[in-house]
Structure 1
Amino acid sequence: MPFPLAPTVNPIGKLSCCTSSVLSLHAVISVRFLHLRKQREMKEEEEEKVENSYLTGDEDLRRASGVVDSLISSSYSVRTLPVKWRVIREKLEQLYSGLTVAAGGKQEGSYKSSALAELLRDVVLIVDETRALVHRCSEEGYDGGKLQMRSDLDVIASKIDLQIKRLADVYASGILTDAQAIIVSRPGAGASREDLRFYIKDLFSRLRIGDSDMRGRALAALTEALHEDDKYARIVVLETDNGVGLTVSFLESGDAGLQEEAAEAVSVIAGFDSYKGALVTAGVIASLIRVLESGTEAGRSRAARALRKLTENSDNAWSVSAHGGVTALLSICGDAGSGEELITSACRVLRNLSSVGEIKRFMVEQGAVSIFMNILRSRNEESFQIQAIEFLYTLVLEDEAIKERVIREGGIESLLRVLDTDSSKAREIALRAIDALCFSSASAMSSLAAHGFLDRILFYLKNGEASTQELALKAASRLCASSDETKKAMGDMGFIPALITLLESKSFEVREIAAEVLCGLISVQRNRRRFIQEDYNINRVLQLLTPDEEKSVSKKSLLSMLMSLTESHSGRRKIAASGYVKNLEKLAETDVVDAKKIVKKLSGSKLRNIFIGLWSS
């Protein structure tokens, strides 16, 4: 059997086979390369799309804030489950504020955040869900019943709350830093109501979602606006959702700067009677008192100013007392470290509160008299003394028990020391306080006399400024009416010449009171003799009877003096001998009763013939 032959190998065929394999491999590689390049191009295109979506973030912000605003308006049409919808609306307002600030504070194409883009998409979806609930609640009946609807509303409220927190996180990340830095410029003079409203809305948006720095600047801007134009107060109170409540809430802030600015804003709003109720409803009194207890000096001063305005209403006075305000205010006044502005503001609140009898008595029980007597003795500054005296003056009015307490604690001596100071204002207030404190009590009057009060009164009658002089004259009138012994003492000290001089004062009231005091003094025989000894005294009184006298005094007081003088022989003689007796005659001829009586007394005296001669001359 022939041995089998080996297969024949074709070299050219072998080469052809290898070439084909290489070509196939190359083709595979090429296809793979093209596929990878295509994938890369698609990825780059997708990234570009995503990038572009971020670059239009400001457009999405405006759209999102717009749909939220529209939803807020729509929600007001719902009449069922109003409490639930109010909660949702408040959350939507907060979300809207944050979106509005973000949309208004950036330049076009500046947002490049996937977190923000996702947030905005979710906001739009939630708005759609909520709008559907608005429609369902607006229908007479809705699927699932009322319990189901309550549950649905709770769920949507939670979702909105989540978006608010996400937006806060976006702010915290620094993405919206520029938006935080920009505050819309306050509209100029003559700006429209809409411009003012937009400005306030922007400020409250920042107050709702900003960080501490942003809120501080927004509150400062709000305070400036409130000071500048009354219209801003109306917009905050009546046209801004929860405007008062949000402002008041910053009184509870742990940030001293925010607390101070909030107290100032509240103080301005409290200056409008029609807005006080809104502040009280928002819980402002309790918050202000907490600032008094633990705030900074500036914050406490501003809080006290706000309380002073609020307590002009006695109903609010009760609320201040109920929240511990009396104790806090007295503590401020009793603290030696309290500054002038703070004590001034606190005193004014206490004076308002003291208009309520029960609160006034509570103040006294809490040591108010001792606190203010200590201020009067230890603080020499004019402002402190004035505040202390004014408060004590208010405290003693129409309350004999408190008067006695003030006197026991050295009130008379302290007030008399103030009369020796250089401050005319302090002296005037001290004189008023002495009048209220002492002139209804015989023992207090004796104490005044014993401590040199008459000397001081006479000094100010001769040397005081017009206002001090008038108060001193009123005090002299009260003293003169107290007793004959006091009248004698006043005559001995030289009050008569000083009072005669005051009959020529520019002030009609001063002239009248001086005449009345003179009438009182010369009702005592000793003083009558003194008066008659000086011819000038009788001549001046008769001279003032002429109607042409520029500095006239009422005829009643002058005639009363002359009637008193005719009680003595020397008095009648001096009157009859005066060159001005014709003025008396003219009054008698016009049937003035007192003038006729005086003439009759003169004509019936031993000097009758002299008088007749003068009459006929």
Structure 2
Amino acid sequence: MGDEEVFAGASGLRRAVELIFSVLSLSHSIRVFAGKWQLIRAKLEELHGGLIAAENFDSGDSPSLSRLAEAVAVTSTECRDLCRRCVDVSYSGKLLMQSDLDVAFAKLDAHAKKLSEIYKTGILTNGFALVVSKPNLGASKEDMRFYVRDLTTRMKVGDLGMKRQALKNLLEVVVEDEKYVKVIVDVGDVVHLLVGFLGSNEVEIQEESAKVVSVVAGFDSYKGVLVCAGVIAPLVKVLDCGSVLGKIAAARCLVKLTENSDNAWCVSAHGGVSVLLKICGGGDCGGDLVGPACGVLRNLVGVEEIKRFMVDEGAVVTFIRLVRSKEEAIQVNSIGFILSIASGDELVRQMVIKEGGIRALLRVLDPKWSYSCKTREVTMRAVEDLCFCSPSSVGVLMNCGFVDQLIYYVRNGEVSIQELALKVAFRLCGTSEEAKKAMGDAGFMPEFVKFLNAKSFEVREMAAEALSGMVIVPRNRKRFVQDDHNIALLLQLLDPEEGNSGNKKFLISILMSLTSCTSGRKKIVSSGYAKNIEKLADAEVSSDAKRLVKKLSTNRFRSMLSGIWHS
């Protein structure tokens, strides 16, 4: 082919590209036959991207491409005429125009298929993989659509290198600007193309498509689009047989999709549960994979039949073992899974205890081991959720040295875990007299006293209520009375004008318990703050205060009270 013919071929491509662009620009002004024009635009955009790429091809003779460019130019000219007639509403009849539009679409579709065949012959090189520039941030929707359509064409008809680069470019824009996600869903075939790539034998193609799909799955309104496109089955296959990066992206995508429980059965039906359990139990996967795999399983335990299958497959033992992992992500996610599978199920909860779940959790709380504050907070919450539902589980806690661990965090923990430990201590105090005794021996009462002056009303109230329960036990009461500061503080906080006090009801309850011993009564009535009780009683603010005054006003103490309170 001579130079003149080469130039002619090149100008033929350029002419076809320019004609398509003019039709696309004009078509956006059309207000009739919207559905048909949407289909036509999609084909025009596909051809536009493919022909622009072909303009840079340098592989030699391609008469088939030149002939196709001429045919596209002719059809584009016909489309431009149809455009103008629809913009001006100057057509002779709706049925005839609909027929003309159908014919135009059929011709464009045939051209697109021919272009795909030309690409598949390998006649075009991948030297044109980066022809179309990425639109700037804030670009118009039309520019974004054009860019995505161009990438789609390359993914459809390009060689491996072109497909890979197009996928990377697509991932880049959806991560940078979420508006591209809507464009991906709106532009025809992109979602189905991505789903198809999940089954690719090429590792990078599979990985990049999984990453893009995972981004799309992060939008609730588009999850259904992915599911309808059949995304779950190939995602499960990637989880089973893909590369590590592919598995991570697939797991993250499934976490998002299974937030809707309707999709749980689909994952299970394709063998996803067994694959996920295998990943978590394999022992050779890092937290980047095990973490989201745990997340998917947590979403699935809400379906009773699937949960039972997991239990039968040894999920409880698997995840108790993962609690001992050295990776924080694995620990946190495995603890979360155990809580989910045991929630509201006493049989599973007892299985967790029997298989050493409590001991595994308490190992994380052991101060001698190095764990992050976040991990310990999650573990403390897990202990609270799992171990306060039955006396037997509380007994296991007590026998494993939990009281000593708890007092450590109440005294020394960072603020977040300290308040959490106080809450757990409050609950433990309410379980049994044995717990109250053990907590008294461990030194909890002085710590509760300190919290009576806390800024948080909730903290003050918990501390006061816990103390009111603990001093019911005689040996705790005796220990409490020995410190003169304790009674003085309680009476001081009963000042009706004291706005930063704990719950006065519990403070008076503590004092009522202390009157059961002679030394307690003496220290109350001899305190410089004893008048606060009478103030409350006289103001008729508290009937509990009146009962306390009455209890203190026995024959033995009446003269003492009269001398102190009425001086």
Q: TM-score, normalised by structure 1?
A: 0.80
Displacement after TM superposition at 1:55 (Å): 4.1
Instruction: Answer yes or no: is 1:490 the counterpart of 2:445.
Output: no
Equivalences for residues 74-223 of structure 1 within 5 A: 97-103=46-52, 106=55, 113-121=62-70, 138=95, 163-169=114-120, 172-174=122-124, 177-188=126-137, 190-223=138-171
% same residue: 44
Q: Is the 8 A contact 1:106 1:178 kept in 2?
A: no
Describe the shift of the 1:388–1:177 C-alpha distance in structure 2 as closer, same or farther (beyond 3 A). Answer: closer
Q: Once the two structures are superposed, what CA deviation does each residue of 1:113-158 show, in whole Å capped at 9, x if it has no partner?
A: 42321233455678999999xx99956999xxxxxxxxx99x9899
Displacement after TM superposition at 1:492 (Å): 2.5
Q: Is the 8 A contact 1:256 1:296 kept in 2?
A: yes
Q: C-alpha distance in 2, partners of 1:485/1:48? A: 100
Q: C-alpha distance in 2, partners of 1:454/1:48? A: 91
Radius of gyration: which is bigger? 1
Displacement after TM superposition at 1:485 (Å): 2.3
Displacement after TM superposition at 1:384 (Å): 2.2
Which residue number in structure 1 is paired with residue 8 of structure 2?
Answer: 53
Q: Is the 8 A contact 1:575 1:581 kept in 2?
A: yes
Describe the shift of the 1:112–1:523 C-alpha distance in structure 2 as closer, same or farther (beyond 3 A). Answer: same
Which residue number in structure 2 is paired with residue 5 of structure 1?
Answer: none
Q: Is the 8 A contact 1:248 1:262 kept in 2?
A: yes
Secondary structure at 1:337 match in 2: coil
**418-427 or 274-283, which moves further after superposition?**
418-427
Describe the shift of the 1:140–1:219 C-alpha distance in structure 2 as closer, same or farther (beyond 3 A). Answer: closer
Describe the shift of the 1:492–1:311 C-alpha distance in structure 2 as closer, same or farther (beyond 3 A). Answer: same
Displacement after TM superposition at 1:426 (Å): 2.0
Displacement after TM superposition at 1:579 (Å): 0.9
Q: Once the two structures are superposed, what CA deviation does each residue of 1:171-205 show, in whole Å capped at 9, x if it has no partner?
A: x123x5443342322323x3333322322222222
Which residue number in structure 1 is paired with residue 416 of structure 2?
Answer: 467
Q: Once the two structures are superposed, what CA deviation does each residue of 1:401-451 show, in whole Å capped at 9, x if it has no partner?
A: 001111111112111111113322222222222222222222222222111
Describe the shift of the 1:55–1:222 C-alpha distance in structure 2 as closer, same or farther (beyond 3 A). Answer: closer
Describe the shift of the 1:533–1:521 C-alpha distance in structure 2 as closer, same or farther (beyond 3 A). Answer: same
Which residue number in structure 2 is paired with residue 256 of structure 1?
Answer: 203
Which residue number in structure 2 is paired with residue 62 of structure 1?
Answer: 17
Q: C-alpha distance in 1, partners of 2:472/2:167? A: 68
Which residue number in structure 2 is paired with residue 404 of structure 1?
Answer: 350
Equivalences for residues 409-448 of structure 1 within 5 A: 409-420=355-366, 421-423=369-371, 424-448=373-397
Q: Once the two structures are superposed, what CA deviation does each residue of 1:543-581 show, in whole Å capped at 9, x if it has no partner?
A: 122355474212122122112222333322211111111
User: What is the RMSD computed on CA atoms of the aligned residues?
Assistant: 3.7
Describe the shift of the 1:531–1:605 C-alpha distance in structure 2 as closer, same or farther (beyond 3 A). Answer: farther
Secondary structure at 2:516 match in 1: coil
* Alignment partner of 2:528 out of 575, 579, 591: 579
Which residue number in structure 2 is paired with residue 275 of structure 1?
Answer: 222
Displacement after TM superposition at 1:486 (Å): 2.2
Displacement after TM superposition at 1:582 (Å): 2.0
> Number of matched residues?
549
Q: C-alpha distance in 1, partners of 2:2/2:94? A: 43
Instruction: Answer yes or no: is 1:340 the counterpart of 2:287.
Output: yes
Q: C-alpha distance in 1, partners of 2:494/2:530? A: 9
Equivalences for residues 530-549 of structure 1 within 5 A: 530-547=479-496, 549=498
Describe the shift of the 1:295–1:169 C-alpha distance in structure 2 as closer, same or farther (beyond 3 A). Answer: closer
Q: Once the two structures are superposed, what CA deviation does each residue of 1:558-616 show, in whole Å capped at 9, x if it has no partner?
A: 12211222233332221111111122222112211111111122223411111112222
* Alignment partner of 1:598 out of 540, 548, 551: 548
Describe the shift of the 1:454–1:50 C-alpha distance in structure 2 as closer, same or farther (beyond 3 A). Answer: closer
Secondary structure at 1:405 match in 2: helix
Q: Is the 8 A contact 1:244 1:282 kept in 2?
A: yes
Instruction: Answer yes or no: is 1:227 the counterpart of 2:182.
Output: no
Displacement after TM superposition at 1:344 (Å): 0.9
Q: C-alpha distance in 2, partners of 1:210/1:441? A: 64
Q: C-alpha distance in 1, partners of 2:3/2:183? A: 46
Q: Is the 8 A contact 1:97 1:209 kept in 2?
A: no
Amino acid at match of 1:309: K
Q: Is the 8 A contact 2:13 2:69 kept in 1?
A: no
Describe the shift of the 1:504–1:122 C-alpha distance in structure 2 as closer, same or farther (beyond 3 A). Answer: same
Which residue number in structure 2 is paired with residue 615 of structure 1?
Answer: 565
Displacement after TM superposition at 1:63 (Å): 6.2
Q: Is the 8 A contact 1:223 1:264 kept in 2?
A: yes
Q: Once the two structures are superposed, what CA deviation does each residue of 1:256-312 show, in whole Å capped at 9, x if it has no partner?
A: 112111111111111111111111111111121111111111111111111111111
